[in-house]
Structures are given as structure tokens and as C-alpha cells.
Structure 1
Amino acid sequence: MLPVTAFYAAPLALAFVVLSTRVIRARRLYQQPLGTAHRLVERAARAHGNFAEAAPLALLLLALCEANGLPSWALHVLGVTLLAGRGFHALGIGREPEVFRWRVLGTGLTLTMIGTAGAAAMGLALAALF
């Protein structure tokens, strides 16, 4: 059982559905069934795509950290950082005009979480091996 990971996976799943719905809505509105020729379709698609690229790896790392005994306070720091990062990125890239500082902040928070969780998972794995 990984309750902390589940706690953060649930709102991320809802965010994924919202971002998916925004892509569908933009495709219908701008009659763009395939591709991203319209700039607002591209923004919605990239917000969704970037989320789909980053969130699964981040959640996997969070789950590995939790399964290997990282303290719950540290798991929550990672989870909140991930939620904030994905939220800021989606808000920044999904708007027109783009709010570039939110996009950069979101990317930075997400990469910080992934890097920190990756290092923690490696440390926990090494401690278990030796």
C-alpha cells in the first residue's frame, strides 16, 4: 500500500482529465481533428503532452521512495512540489498570452522534484543493497 503516492496521484489524475478535455474542446472549437496548426490547439496539446511526459515518471519515483521507506514528511514535500510544478506549468503554457514565468516555475519545480526523488530513490536502493 502506498497511501502518500495515492494521495498525490489522485489530483494528478483529475488534472490529466482536465487537460485532456481542454485539448478536445480546442480541437472542436478550431476544427483541428489532428495536428496542432492552430496556436491555441498547440498550447492545449503541449500542456497535456508535457504533463503526460513528466507526471508518470515523477509518480513512479515517489512510489519507489515511499516503498523503500523515505519519511512521510519528505514524501509530502516531493508531492506538493510536483503538484505545484504541474499546476504552474499548465497555467503558464495553456494561456494566451503565455505566462512564461509560471511555465518556467512549473518546469523548475517539476524537474527539482524528479531530480530529488531520483537521488532519494538511488540512495535508498544503495542503502538496501549494502
Structure 2
Amino acid sequence: MATVTALYAGLCAILLIALAARVVQFRWSKNVGMGSGDDRLNQVRVRVHANATEYMPMALLLMLIAELNGLGALWLHILGALFVFGRLLHAFGLTWGKGGYHPGRFFGTAISWTVILVLAVIDIVKALGAA
């Protein structure tokens, strides 16, 4: 069973829905059917949600592969918690920075990329070791 990955997949799903809800709330309040309605804040909200949908699947897939190949629960929790923290930091940073530079955006992205790269290397090493 992949219970650790299941935990972080659930947390990521909740975050993804929360980010989507911010976009939907804006669209309803401004009667915008699609897109951002040329509103800068909603462009940022749309981008924050899109960015999460771009990175979450790969991170979770790599985590699942690592878990199924025997990576210890402690490492999975460290990497999973870091990834969720990075995604939260990115979302808040991009929003607070109004789409520009903000330390939260930078560090959130850096953490997310680092977790993905670490998991990728772990998976590659495990695959080569099994061959």
C-alpha cells in the first residue's frame, strides 16, 4: 500500500481545490465566464492554480514510485511535507507579490523543484539498482 503518498495526494488535492475556489469565487463575483476578465489579481489566481496543476502530478507520481520501491516512510514524509509547504509558499508568495517577485514565490518554487529532483534521482537510482 502507498499510504504515505495517499496522505500527500489528499493534501495536494485539498490545496488544488482551495486554489480553484479562489478563481471561481472571483469569476462569480465579476460575472466572468472564462479567463481572468483582464483583472490582474485574477490573472495571478489563475496562474497560481495552473502552476499547482503543473507540478503536483509529477511530484506525486515520483513519490508513489519511490514508495512502491521501498523508500522509507520518514523520507517520504520529509519530501511530501516539503513539497506541500513549497506549494503553499509559492501560492501565497505569488499572490502577495501580485504576480511579481516575492520571496515566497522564489522559495516555494525552489523547494518544489528540489523535491521533484530528489525524488527523480531516488527513482532513477532504484531503477538502475534493480536492473
Provide, for residues 103-129 of structure 1, a one-character-per-residue CA deviation record: whole Å limited to 9, x for no partner: 111000000000000000000111111
2:126 and 2:46 mapped to 1: Cα distance? 36
SS for the counterpart of 1:90 is helix
One-letter code aligned to 2:118: T
Superposition CA RMSD, Å: 1.4
1:96 and 1:105 mapped to 2: Cα distance? 13
Unpaired stretches in structure 1, ≥5 consecutive residues: none
1:111–1:58 CA distance, 2 compared to 1 (3 A): same
Match of 1:123 in 2: 125
2:48 and 2:84 mapped to 1: Cα distance? 14
SS for the counterpart of 1:32 is coil
How much has 1:35 moved relative to structure 2?
2.0
Unpaired stretches in structure 2, ≥5 consecutive residues: none
Match of 2:12 in 1: 12
Match of 1:92 in 2: 93
Match of 1:72 in 2: 73
Match of 1:38 in 2: 39
| Contact 2:41/2:98 (<8 A) preserved | no
Greater displacement, 11-20 / 90-99: 90-99
TM-score, normalisation: structure 1: 0.93
How much has 1:38 moved relative to structure 2?
0.6
| Contact 1:32/1:41 (<8 A) preserved | no
Runs of 4+ in 1 over 6 A off after TM superposition: none
